[in-house]
Amino acid sequence: MNLSAQRLILASASPRRKELLASLGVKFEIIPAEVIEHEAPDADPREMVRHNAALKADWVAAQHPQSTVIGADTTVFVGNTVLNKPRDAAEARSMLRLLSGTRHTVFTGLAIRRQADGLSLDRGVASEVTFKSLDEATIELYLSRVHTLDKAGGYAIQEASELIIAGFTGSLSNIVGLPLEEMKQLLTQAGLTR
pLDDT digits (tens, 9 = 90+) for 94-151: 999 999 999 999 999 999 999 999 999 999 999 999 999 999 999 999 999 999 998 9
pLDDT of residue 194: 61
Taking the C-alpha atoms of residue 1 and residue 117, their distance in angstroms, rounded to an integer, is 9
What number is the average pLDDT over the span 173-183?
A: 96
List the domains of the chain with CATH numbers.
3-189 (3.90.950.10)
Taking the C-alpha atoms of residue 120 and residue 41, their distance in angstroms, rounded to an integer, is 27
pLDDT band at 39 (very low <50, low <70, confident <90, very high): confident
Does the reported pTM lie above 0.75? yes
pLDDT above 70 for 5: no
- Among 42, 73, 117, 122, the active-site one is 73
Q: What are the angstrom distances between the C-alpha of 29 and each of 26, 69, 74, 139, 166? A: 10, 9, 20, 36, 36
- Most confident of the following: 118-122, 150-154, 189-193: 118-122
73 is a catalytic site residue: yes
Taking the C-alpha atoms of residue 127 and residue 104, their distance in angstroms, rounded to an integer, is 8
Question: CB burial class (10 A; 0-12, 13-18, 19+) of residue 21?
Answer: buried
pLDDT above 70 for 83: yes
pLDDT of residue 80: 85
Look over the chain and give the mean of its residue pLDDT values, rounded to a whole number.
Answer: 93
